[in-house]
Amino acid sequence: MALLSPIGSAALARALGDKLLDKNDVVVMNAIPGAESLRNPGHPRLFHIRAGDKQQIEKIVNHARTLGMTRLGVLYQDFVMGSSGIQVAQQEASRTGGIEIKGVKSATEAAALTAAAQEMAKLGSQGVLIVGAPRFMAEGVAALRKAGVSQSIFVLSYVPPGLVVKLAGIEGARGVGIAQTYPNPNGATLPLHRDFHAAMKAEFPQLQEYSNFHLEGYLSARTVVEALRRSRDKEISPASLERALHAAGDIDFGGFRVNFASGMVGSRFVDIGVIGADGKLKY
């Protein structure tokens, strides 16, 4: 019926290149990550709930501009997600004006990342955005701090705050901004929180704290179920799910809305959380 939240830009790019969604009767719900190259042109059976890298990077560039920055560095991984990310940052900077983007490319090896961080430090940017796989971004924070970069650092939503703290230490992680594509999974103000926490406590009572990925999986599953509930087809199939997702219109989960009526991306929600002195993400 559906493959929920598959992970990995390289794997998804290969799946599209090999036309697996044309050869097999299946819908993909909420691919991770959100590289623009996987969304444009995308595929009619590849649905995305989370706001993509493009929306996250645009939010960070505009946030930096709001903070008064005129020079933003971009440390990006040498693969599809990184190269796409630097292009988005440059395009958004050109659109908004008043902020200059300088990029430094790096491989994932420690020596390469150290050299790239040192090069970035020499640029004298007022802030740095890191774009790449989660581990690369977290290691990038540690490398930049070791290189003497004390300015604001931003990463995309795939990075768990705990990983940044583990690799960069509490002081190195403090103040790092992380784009958020969902509400606080540990919040208590929305009907979504009540439903999500109840479901998690029923199935995983040993968990005391929830991550964005927990909430993301939950919303992916609920989106599929809700669309099928609204389907007018007598039989359930990938084709009926595809039709139902587009026909469902606005699906409100109590503080987070998904809508595939006009395209393959259901949400454009982006916020920025900041790692505090206690190593926890503050919304």
Q: Which residue has the tokens 């990310």?
A: 85
pLDDT at 22: 94
Instruction: Give just the sign of the alpha carbon dihedral 57, 7, 159, 217.
Output: positive
For the chain, what is the mean pLDDT? 94
* Domains of the chain by residue range: 2-51+212-259, 54-180
Position 98 pLDDT exceeds 90:
yes
Apex 240 CA angle, 238 and 242, nearest 5: 70
CATH assignment, 54-180: 3.40.50.2300
pLDDT at 37: 76
Residue type, position 1, single letter = M
Q: Calculate mean pLDDT across residues 263-283.
A: 94
Residue type, position 125, single letter = S
pTM above 0.85, yes or no: yes
Residue 70: CB atoms within 10 Å: 11
CA diameter of the chain: 63
Position 35 pLDDT exceeds 80:
no
Task: Give the containing element (helix H, strand E) for 55.
Answer: helix 53-66
Q: Is 2-51+212-259's fold the same as 54-180's? A: yes
Position 34 pLDDT exceeds 90:
no
Token digits of residue 94: 């050109």
Position 66 pLDDT exceeds 80:
yes
Q: Give the pairing type, strands 177-180 and 271-275.
A: antiparallel
**pLDDT band at 44, cuts 50/70/90?**
very high
**The domain made up of 2-51+212-259 is a member of CATH 3.40.50.2300:** yes
Asked if 143 and 167 count as a contact pair (C-beta separation under 8 A), the reply is no
pLDDT digits (tens, 9 = 90+) for 140-181: 999 999 999 999 999 999 899 999 999 999 999 999 999 999
pLDDT at 2: 93
pLDDT at 272: 96
Position 75 pLDDT exceeds 80:
yes
Query: For residue 265, what is the DSSP state?
Result: B
Asked if 112 and 119 count as a contact pair (C-beta separation under 8 A), the reply is no
Token digits of residue 165: 């703290």
